[in-house]
């Protein structure tokens, strides 16, 4: 079966500021202490940082090959406006993604993030990434301090509407360095109404706020979810429940590489879907194909069309 992974990242420290990584490590340390397991933050930091040593995606491509993943969508969130301790500017990170795409022809699509508070400079940078680099849509990260219905995002949505590009947004919890309450899925409702020609994808929608995400998918023709995060506890069971909501034409496969690299490789996460019963017994093969690649292909194929 063809597979498109709609939720990956470049595994490089340059893409994740130290304060973002420290928050993740704090949560890991607290969880281990609660279980009586020995873990120092320094050891956890070394383990975590070891997952971010594939800046050119050579290892990712190898794991994609082993797992039967044909194409991965690289998501490029812009943390640089909010978290000032990053080592690279958003422009430099965008340029790096172009290097990765050129290195692995045909294997990656890119949804590029630019914080809307950069103003006119940010719009220019985003448009350059779309027009000159040929990137494929927008990645938003509301926990950095803005809502999906922020009018500062509307010029970006206009570009996506004109070029038939999807917008994917993180929803729910993330590193404790950032805000959670602003990342609610309901904030997509207004832009989904105002931009009916833009497909909005709510990342982690089968894990975070699944009832609200299902309601939006059921009632907004241009709202979708990706299932990344199903590797978390109860995530596979939650995905099984989501598949029973009669919206399988709205659900996209995603792994969130490299977030779960400590738990296994891409092939483990693909095999886990069947091994742990993600698919209901009554789910037809046609719906499985929608989830694994056809929904993603349909969104990506709209690029540049007048549909």
> Which candidate, 118, 112, 113, 103, places its Cα nearest to that of 134?
112
Structure-model confidence comparison of residues 109 and 304, the more confident one: 109
Give yes or no for residue 84 having a pLDDT over 70. yes
Q: How confident is the model at residue 28 (pLDDT cuts 50, 70, 90)?
A: confident
pLDDT at 207 over 60: yes
Write down the pLDDT at residue 51. 95
Beta bridge partners of 71: 4
Distance of alpha carbon 256 from alpha carbon 140, whole angstroms = 15
Cα angle: 150, vertex 155, 157; to 5 degrees:
80
In this prediction, residues 31-50 reach a mean pLDDT of: 85
Is the model's pLDDT at 38 over the cut of 80?
no
> Considering the chain, what percentage of its residues have pLDDT values greater than 70?
99
- Pairing of β 53-54 and β 11-12: antiparallel
* 307 has pLDDT over 60: no
Confidence band (pLDDT; 50, 70, 90) for 156? very high
Q: Does position 65 have pLDDT exceeding 90, yes or no?
A: yes
In percent, the amount of the chain with pLDDT more than 90 equals 89
pTM: 0.96
pLDDT of residue 306: 63
Report the pLDDT value the prediction gives residue 32, as an integer from 0 to 100: 81
Distance CA 49, CA 12 (A): 9
φ/ψ of 103, rounded to 5, equals -70, -30
Asked if 223 contacts 202 with a C-beta cutoff of 8 angstroms, the reply is yes
pLDDT tens, position by position, 210-260: 999 999 999 999 999 999 999 988 899 999 999 999 999 999 999 999 999
> Structural domains in the chain?
4-12+55-300 (3.20.20.140), 17-51 (no CATH)
Arithmetic mean of pLDDT over the chain? 95
- Evaluate if residue 183 carries a pLDDT over 80: yes
Q: Is residue 39's pLDDT more than 80?
A: no
Is residue 75 within a helix (H) or strand (E), and if so which, with residue range?
strand 71-76
pLDDT tier at 285, thresholds 50, 70, 90: very high
Would you call 202 helix, strand, or coil by DSSP? strand
CA distances from 53 to 6, 48, 50, 93, 291 (A): 21, 10, 6, 15, 30
């Amino acid at each position: 079966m063809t597979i498109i992974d709609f939720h990956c990242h470049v595994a490089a420290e340059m893409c994740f500021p130290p304060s973002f990584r420290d928050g993740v490590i704090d949560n890991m340390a607290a969880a281990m202490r609660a279980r009586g397991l020995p873990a120092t933050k320094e050891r956890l930091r070394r383990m975590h940082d070891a997952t971010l040593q594939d800046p050119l995606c050579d290892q990712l491509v190898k794991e994609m090959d082993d797992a039967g993943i044909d194409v991965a969508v690289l998501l490029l969130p812009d943390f640089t406006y909010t978290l000032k301790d990053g080592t690279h500017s958003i422009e430099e990170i965008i340029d790096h993604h172009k290097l990765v795409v050129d290195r692995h022809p045909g294997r990656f699509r890119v949804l590029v993030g630019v914080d809307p508070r950069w103003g006119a400079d940010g719009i220019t940078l985003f448009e350059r990434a779309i027009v000159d680099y040929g990137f494929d849509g927008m990645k938003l990260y509301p926990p950095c301090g803005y809502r999906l219905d922020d009018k500062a995002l509307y010029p970006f949505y206009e570009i996506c509407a004109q070029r038939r590009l999807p917008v994917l947004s993180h929803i729910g919890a993330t590193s404790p360095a950032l805000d959670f309450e602003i990342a609610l899925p309901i904030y997509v409702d207004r832009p989904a109404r105002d931009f009916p020609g833009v497909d909005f994808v709510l990342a982690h929608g089968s894990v975070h706020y699944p009832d609200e995400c299902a309601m939006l998918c059921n009632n907004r023709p241009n709202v979708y979810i990706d299932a990344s995060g199903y590797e978390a506890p109860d995530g596979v069971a939650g995905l099984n429940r989501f598949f029973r909501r009669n919206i399988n034409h709205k659900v996209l496969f995603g792994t969130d590489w490299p977030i779960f690299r400590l738990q296994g490789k891409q092939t483990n996460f693909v095999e886990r879907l069947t091994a742990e019963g993600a698919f209901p017994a009554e789910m037809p093969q046609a719906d499985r194909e929608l989830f694994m690649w056809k929904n993603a292909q349909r969104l990506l194929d709209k690029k540049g069309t007048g549909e």
